[in-house]
Structure 1
Amino acid sequence: MKALTWQANKRVDVVDVPDPRIEQPTDVVIRITSTAICGSDLHLYDVLGPFLSKGDVLGHEPMGIVEEVGPAVRSLSVGDRVVIPFVIACGDCYMCRLGLTTQCETTQNREHGTGASLYGYTELYGSVPGGQAERLRVPMADFNALRVGSELPDDRYLFLSDILPTAWQGVQYANVPEGGTLGVIGLGPVGQFASRIGTHLGYQVVAVDPVPERRAMAERHGIDTFDLSDDAAAWLREATDGRGPDAVVDAVGMEAHGNTVAGVAQSAVGLLPDPVAKKLLTTVGVDRLSAMMLAFDAVRRGGTVSLSGVYAGVADPVPFMNLFDKQIAIRMGQCNVHAWRDDILPLVEDPADPLGTEDLVTHRVGLEEAPRMYDLFRDKEDGCIKVVLTP
């Protein structure tokens, strides 16, 4: 089959790889009908290459049709249409029963001290072949494949794989008081959905992003937006009676605009020999923190900052004096997709499409064009906000 594979730092290619097969009785194999490029895939492209091997299949936002079913699978049949969460979890362990599927004790990567296995996301998370491919093996499929209807287009369901639950969790973690104000830093795909979810839940939403096309998309959904500038924190406070938002979602993460020194360091580490780069990334690695710092600066005293963007630095400087003084609560973590699906599915299937799932994709191309789209998405060119690949 054809699959998008990591080849080297800043280089991915579509090549032929072996077809997936049933390996455990609880597996299914799906034919992928839609699969998206995620902002966190760009971390693999630019920063986390030392934890990848040449030929690793990338991607963790797929959906498709079940083609093969293992003998122990009970809830799925050939021909079912399914969405696959990016997290691989058992559903039965202590952590899964708590709803913390990203900490699943069955698929946890103890060798690296990391959480549950993820599709297409480095040796740190299991080196599991990803979903930017024509087919995908789904382990423990009764828990990890969500069967959906056949009437609505893929875009209504596809984002249940990652970015829609990630945005939902980010807003839930933000703990906005009823009728309160939610700030959103970054209007990429997660920020777009976080903003819309906030509006749907009755909050005033104010958002910051440097890209005009992203601000325009958010404004279509009733979001007040502001360009990223030195005045962004002041604008967020002015929009909220001088106090700042009750809560702020950082939907950007480790590769924010700003902090050129950290950006150069990230790129340089990615070019070092893998053993050296791994050691540096796991001992003195730093992130570009401008989005997080803006969130800390802008949120009101006693408010909450919810980190939905991925961070990977282990030596990041954090202003604890200011956080302590302002009495800021912080929530963060990979999204526990399975815990939120039942809450979101009715909104996805609502004929009114209240979260605007059909107003997010800006580029839809064949799988063979994926390498070009990685560059386009990274560089925010041609109004690119969300890319969907159709194998």
Structure 2
Amino acid sequence: MTFHSAPASIGNRAMARVDPAAIAHNLDQVRRRMGSGGPASQGPRVWASIKADAYGHGIHHVVPALADADGLAVSRLADVAVCRDAGWRGPILIYGGLQDLIEVAHLDQPGLHLVISSVEQLDWLAARPLHCPPPWLWLRYVGDLGVIGLDYDTYRAAYARCEPWLARGDIAGIGHFQHYAAADLPIGIAAAQARFRTLTARMAGPRSTSSSPTILCHPEHAATTHWIRPGRLLYGLSPLPDRTGTQLGLRPALSMRARLAAVHEVAAGTPLGYHGAFVAPTAMRVGVVNCGYAQGYPGHPPVGMPVLVNGRLARGLGQVMMEHLLVDLGNHPDAAPGTPVILWGTPELPAEHVAAACGRTAPELITGLTGRVPIRAS
């Protein structure tokens, strides 16, 4: 077996590249689907969802690209400071609301919108210092998702409890929040939508029920709500199993990149990888890519998983180690140590295809990148 390795000077580690221009483009595409071309146009307002550190892209990389959003939606109160540091001065929706009583002391910021999913959160808010700017409250109905939120009767009681707070100016407003469980499936949203409409029929305040699957599959419903909450669409990812983001007119916002660390010329019958699980069927050139499961690449991809080597497709050999994976360089005679490799995130190699081949969704793949992967904006 002949072995060629990269000198230390080109043994660059794997990295992810974020394209802010793609995110701005995708936000514009979402607005156009809803019949509005900008934040001042008619149509629902947009909470740009940047939970989970902006779907793994990095809040500080993403916020500048979302200047035309009406608001940002984050996972937790601690994310608000990151958004402000990145220059955002508009409203911020906090999906997690309050995590405990201690967080009440940190509500001394304007423009906060808290999602309320439990009675305990209302109890904590009752202890809020009166000098704090009044936050918006969004009551979350548990709905057909059945995971988190207020049930039917508790929701009604929570609204009744909040009305006097609103009248006194202790809170800035009351909104109504739901997340559909099956917007992208044949079962759809009709039953869940009808029950939510019945529940909130006599309650004042804006509604927010539509995330990316609802925006795509039920645009007529999403367009009539007050606020939509696109998430994966902003990052160029499709929630539909048969369409990629590129096919929907979106642009990939994150690409995972690495380099060849070594190239082997192996003989037929040579075992490779853990337990020799891959055996070379013929003499072949094998590339060792400097990315593995420690960086968040799926640990058990099928043989044939595509990668791009110097811009052209190559097949993975199904062998992923902690910091390396193996690819077939049979059609890449010029590939050498240091040659660039793209693992996903281009129109030719969408994250959706890589994720599906490993039994994952694209958000699972991208948010699974570890802290060992530097993320840079292009």
Higher strand proportion (structure 1 or 2): 2
Q: Bigger radius of gyration, 1 or 2?
A: 2
TM-score, normalised by the number of residues in structure 2: 0.29
TM-score by length of 1: 0.29
